[in-house]
Amino acid sequence: MKVVVSRDPSHCIDLLMKDLAKTGVMQHVISNAKRVRDFVKIDRIDSIRQAVANAEELVFYSAVFSPVDTRMNLLHDVVVSARKCRDFLILLPGNADYQTYYNERSRRDKAKLDELMLLFKDESLWKMFDIVIAFTRPFKEAHLACSRKDMPLSVYPLLVQALRNDINKCLTEEFDTVLGDNSRAEVAGMIRLRFNMDGLDIDGQKVGLLDVHQLMGFLCDPNSRRWRAMFHLQTDKAALVRKMIEDYVPLGVDGSDELRKRVLNDFQEFDTQQGNWMHSFDAHLPEMPTAEELAKNNKSFGIEQVVKYAEQTGAISGRLQWFECYAGASPFYQKVAKPLLSMGTVGSMDCERRAKPLKHTIVTSKRNRLKDETGVALLRGYENLNHLMNAKKLVGKQVHESLLRR
């Protein structure tokens, strides 16, 4: 048995956001958000904020929470919460309770407060927050989409391209005007490395957003043909199909490749809607546009459109039900499409909960010297022990509760 490992989408987006947060542009924004947070979290200031909010003198207000360096997808929430404090901070100097607080401070502390009030009155601060909120919103939306348990992995390549499109819409001249010269270039240079749309590993220690198995899932998705005129598959399709067959279809006991040939032929008929698949689809294949039109279409869709498409097509269960209904005995479905379409995206926290315990067992420097059979044995042994322990806890709890009822 061969173990196939695919990258966790939301965790890869987390890694991208973590690198993005290290850029000078975002560090400046985070620094200002922290200044808002530190000021609003002062007990007396927070009490004034709550009193003003309870008196309904503010329409929008929020307590600012701290950014977490290992969860940079929260950067969007941090800046949003800081931005919601704008009205309160601008009106604060005229508040009687604040004036009492101010008069009680030392001369040095008053100077610091005056400096902060000047900062909070500067509209460029809030404009900067607005730009960053718009820029980080696609990351937040993509991360939330990937954290859904029913999001098919076959949709993830579309989601990555949609993320790229939504980000590029934010990288306008205004981005440089508000955040400083060359801000766009710095951010774009950091992001560009991660968008490996061909699914191949990128140079260095960086992890790309895509891998070949996610692109294979896209090829196996019966609904993906509607995207052929919209989404540009930026890899050698023939080579990808060959690798897909090799990875998921074993050779015969005698070493023959007859089964692989059958599956390949079945896939080709599926892909072209011919042969046994001719009457399985309710629409003809879309006409392919020119290369220029395809490149333009590839930049036109966003995350909202992709998420809506995944929901309307039934997510994971909808894709499996389609195959079970029209071609449940198909060798292509049984050997290739079924395992690929059964995989879904997963939240970054879920990924780390599964991966961290394996850090000192399989995921080590010795991993590359493990054969497939050894890796399977270690992984199964570890997982089976977890299942046994969970079962023992569940049984023990049920026995304990039954004794209490007696």
Does the residue 4 lie in any domain? no
Enter the pTM of the model: 0.81
Identify the pLDDT of residue 167: 93
Domain's final residue, options 320, 337, 358: 358
Domain's final residue, options 145, 177, 201: 145
Identify the pLDDT of residue 70: 46
Domain's final residue, options 92, 123, 145: 145
Identify the pLDDT of residue 22: 84
Same domain as 270, residue 160: yes
Does the residue 213 lie in any domain? yes
Same domain as 324, residue 384: no
Q: What percent of the chain has pLDDT over 70?
A: 81
Same domain as 154, residue 138: no
Same domain as 382, residue 349: no
Identify the pLDDT of residue 69: 47
Does the residue 211 lie in any domain? yes
Q: Domain count of the chain?
A: 3
Same domain as 192, residue 252: yes
Task: Specify burial of residue 287 (Cβ count, 10 A radius: 0-12, 13-18, 19+).
Answer: exposed
Same domain as 391, residue 261: no
Domain with 321, as residue range(s), is 149-358
Same domain as 288, residue 220: yes
Does the residue 2 lie in any domain? no
Does the residue 1 lie in any domain? no
Which positions of the chain have pLDDT values less than 70?
1-7, 56-74, 205, 346-377, 379-380, 397-406
Same domain as 349, residue 263: yes
Does the residue 321 lie in any domain? yes
Same domain as 41, residue 21: yes
Identify the pLDDT of residue 159: 94
CA–CA gap between residue 379 and residue 240 (Å, rounded): 28
Same domain as 218, residue 130: no
Same domain as 161, residue 46: no
Same domain as 314, residue 241: yes
